[in-house]
Structure 1
Amino acid sequence: MPSTNQSVSSLMPEAKKIKPLTVLVHWSESREFTEETLYDFNEFEKKALEVAKRNPLGGYDKTKVTVTFDNEHQHECRLDLGCGGNDQGFAEHCLSTERYYRQHKGDVDKPWLYDKHHQQLIELINTYELNHSFVDLGRLQVKQVEEQAKAEEAAKEEAKQQERERAWREHQQAEEAFQETLEVPQWAKGVIIATLTDYDAEISEPYAGEFHTKTLKTIILAWSKHSRNLFPELRKACLNHPETTFLNDPEKSVEHRERFAMGEGYYLTDTKYIRYGWQIKKRNFYREDNKARYVPLGEIAISE
């Protein structure tokens, strides 16, 4: 879809084709162009195409220009140089605008196509002598750049996914080995665990409402002699490790009681905890034959 940026141009009485000669770049978000600099038209078009190809996965560089033709007619507009349906240069911008008009001029839901100024703009574009071959070649190059960039992104994501799966398998193996050597007292009914988590920006999708965390540290603080949820017990266990000692202070921690279907039950956190941070929680042993399976891989800080 062509850029919808408004173009401003003086009326041309002649119906003959006129040729663009120069482009004055007033300003640009791209470092490829210098502000208030005059470029030969063909030079500008080549540079603009290269700038557009540098944005293969979205985004664009806004560029304000004035194009002067061989009869001194001037056309001022803003180009959004980028892939994904954005502009690739002045000629491509004009041809896309005209093509969009032809494709949708019968659509009743696009009244702006019949605006007087837009009609005049289309008439003017039809008088411009533009290099269609260069535009077609540029569109082909942009398509190739887009496909290559998407393929590279897909390959990177696949590699990341494989790495995550490998890391998870290694973690599982290490945790199983840890549990096999763990000696859980016969009297223990549960274990109190401290977990430090952080926001995982790599796999989170905030625009889709998906927020994921990653575990930075796990500490086995204490065994529990009962299955009740008691915050004094959690606070006492915090004293077994220097990094969690501060959570023993009621003013520096928060008690959570999530006794609903999707809740996490009873747990203690630091005051800044929102999805991630320090969390102290008890896991009860529901099976007596293999209590170690409830204990995650972590640092043991249980006091004797």
Structure 2
Amino acid sequence: MTFDNEYQHECRLDLGCGGNDQGFAEHCLSMARYYRQHKGDVDKPWLYDKHHQQLIELINTYELDHSFVDLGRMQVKQAEEQAKAEEAAKEEAKQQERERAWREHQQAEEAFQETLEVPQWAKGVIIATLTDYDAEISEPYAGEFHTKTLKTIILAWSKHSRNLFPELRKACLNHPETAVLNDPDKSVEHRERFAMGEGYYLTDTKYIRYGWQVKKRNFYREDNKARYVPLGEVAIGE
């Protein structure tokens, strides 16, 4: 190191202290190996720089334990493999839990549908669902956004298969949590008649991907209409 008054002072930096001898040895061996492999490359003139030459000469004087380095590499690899195995086991457990919850939901829904008494005149059912962002299974960096259903309310039976927003708004009055959607100023009408669209449905004003959604589900078959009705709270008036 040269100071402003031309005084020079040589500094020494000791690496490999604090229990990291293996990392220091591996780094030195890597530098020496790179130098041997590329010392003839014309596009790497810096390998012949005075300071670099001094560094290589210094490294060559070290008595480095290759077996120590190999052992360290093996331990790192084993630790990485163990971490990956533990992560895979956690993901497998989560997947099994989701599958178990889904099976239980299906069983509960089937039992619920068996208790329903759907009027013969009913052509469809009006359903309200409250959804929220599912951070556990979403992958925002990959553009995958998933939702989870927090609540389902069976609001009303419908006598026809037409999509009429006044009918949806009227059905919203059957439950206090959806009553606000009866107000046109506090709800939004959606008409997605294009491919991959969700059809006609009513939502709260803050709805983007999740929130309150009210929609009619038509009965496409007369037999076993209850199978079109999801598990939820029944709010149909007498």
**TM-score, length of structure 1 as denominator length:** 0.63
Report if aligned partners of 2:131, 2:210 keep a CA contact under 8 Å in 1.
yes
State the Cα distance separating 1:135 from its structure 2 match. Answer: 2.8
* Structure 2 CA distance for partners of 1:70 and 1:245, relative to 1, 3 Å: same
Query: What is the CA–CA distance in structure 1 between the aligned matches of 2:133 and 2:171, rounded to whole Å?
Result: 25
Deviation, structure 1 residue 92? 3.3
Distance 1:176 1:123, change over 3 A: farther
Distance 1:116 1:92 in 2: 23
Matched residue SS, 1:80:
coil
Task: Name structure 2 gaps, 5 residues minimum.
Answer: none
Does structure 2 conserve the Cα–Cα contact (< 8 Å) formed by 1:188 and 1:223?
yes
Higher strand residue share: 1
1:116-162 per-residue CA deviation (whole Å, 9 max, x = no partner) reads 98888767655655454433222111111111111111111111111
CA deviation string 1:12-70 (max 9, x = no partner): xxxxxxxxxxxxxxxxxxxxxxxxxxxxxxxxxxxxxxxxxxxxxxxxxxxxxxx9999
Kindly, what percent of the aligned residue pairs are identical? 95
Q: Which residue does 2:118 correspond to in 1?
A: 184
Relative contact order, higher structure (CA 8 A, sep 6+): 2
CA contact (8 A) 1:81 1:88 kept: no
Distance 1:136 1:239, change over 3 A: same
Question: Which stretch has the larger CA shift, 215-224 or 96-105?
Answer: 96-105
Counterpart contact for 1:79–1:93, Cα < 8 Å:
no
TM-score, length of structure 2 as denominator length: 0.79
Change (3 A) 1:150 1:226: same
Q: Does 1:202 align with 2:136?
A: yes
Shift of 1:241: 1.1
Which residue of 2 is the match for residue 272 of structure 1? Answer: 206
- Higher Cα Rg: structure 1 or 2? 2
Q: What's the CA shift string for 1:158-182, capped at 9, x where partnerless?
A: 1111111111111111101111110
Please, which of 109, 115, 122 is the counterpart of residue 175 of structure 1?
Answer: 109
Distance change (3 Å), C-alpha of 1:194 and 1:74? farther
CA distance 1:89–1:125, shift in 2 (3 Å): same
SS in 1 for 2:208: coil
Gaps of 5+ in 1: 1-66
When residues 290 and 127 of structure 1 are mapped into structure 2, their CA distance, relative to the original with a 3 A threshold, is: same
* Bigger fraction of residues in helix: 2
The 2-side partners of 1:300 and 1:86 are apart by 66
Using the TM superposition, give the Cα deviation of residue 232 of structure 1 relative to its aligned residue in structure 2, in angstroms: 1.5
Q: Is the 8 A contact 2:16 2:25 kept in 1?
A: no
Deviation at 1:255, TM superposition (A): 1.4
How many residues matched?
238
Q: Evaluate the alpha carbon distance shift between residue 128 and residue 244 of structure 1 in structure 2; reply closer, same or farther with a 3 A threshold.
A: farther
RMSD of aligned residue pairs (Cα, Å)? 5.8
CA separation in 1, counterparts of 2:3 and 2:72?
A: 22
CA separation of 1:93 and 1:260: change in aligned 2, threshold 3 A: farther
